[in-house]
Amino acid sequence: MSCAVPGSKIVKQVPARRRRIPARFGLKAAIPAPTSTEGELDVTADLSLRAPRENGSVSTSDLVGRLSTQLTTLVRDEIALTRTEVQTRAKTAGVAGGMFGAAGVLSLYGMGLLIALGVVALDLVWPLWLAVLVVLAVVFAIAGVLALVGRGRMRRAMPLVPTDAVERIRGDLDTVKAALKDRKRS
């Protein structure tokens, strides 16, 4: 596609490069970034716009088309990033829940096995009541440590609301509001 603008040269589109979404979002999607032959960004190549009018202005239908294309792209990208963020947080919460489960299972098995073994071993040295008390304290200490570690990880995963996506959308809305206010003033 080429776009002829009165009083300027014709810009020939070269095969579009694709720019990757940052790896921190975990997405494999790519966004086209068309360029001209000089390596400059060709902003009209992916918008399918007609050439500006004789006086240099762009028609309202072209502006609405641009708005529609840009909003669609923005919404799709925000949805993809939000989905990735929620999946990451849910995975972290799942690991923390697994740690709580492991703490519960270990405390049950620990109570059975360690009490039996510890009591038998310590009964050879101490009175029976003291052997039971020492083994019980050790088992509960291990369960407490696991529960505290699991709680700390659960707090890091909370809230499950995608806060980064919410902030990006708020920023986008503020930009649109500011542009509308500037448009009304002029």
Pick out the chain residues at pLDDT < 70: 1-56, 114
Q: Is residue 79 part of a domain?
A: no
Q: Is residue 95 part of a domain?
A: yes
Paired residues of 30 in beta bridges: 20
Q: Is residue 107 part of a domain?
A: yes
Q: Is residue 40 part of a domain?
A: no
Closest CA to 146 of 172, 90, 107: 107
Can you give the pLDDT at residue 12?
Answer: 43
Can you give the pLDDT at residue 53?
Answer: 63
What is the C-alpha to C-alpha distance for residues 87 and 93, in angstroms, rounded to an integer? 10
pTM above 0.85, yes or no: no
Can you give the pLDDT at residue 100?
Answer: 92
Can you give the pLDDT at residue 52?
Answer: 59
Characterize 106-121 residue by residue with b for buried, 16 or more Cβ atoms within 10 angstroms of its Cβ, and e for exposed. Answer: ebeebeeeebeebbee
Handedness of CA 140, 142, 145, 151 (dihedral sign): negative
Number of separate domains in the chain? 1
**106 is in which domain, residue-wise?**
86-186
Q: Is residue 129 part of a domain?
A: yes
Q: Is residue 22 part of a domain?
A: no
Longest CA–CA separation in the chain, Å: 103
Q: Is residue 149 part of a domain?
A: yes
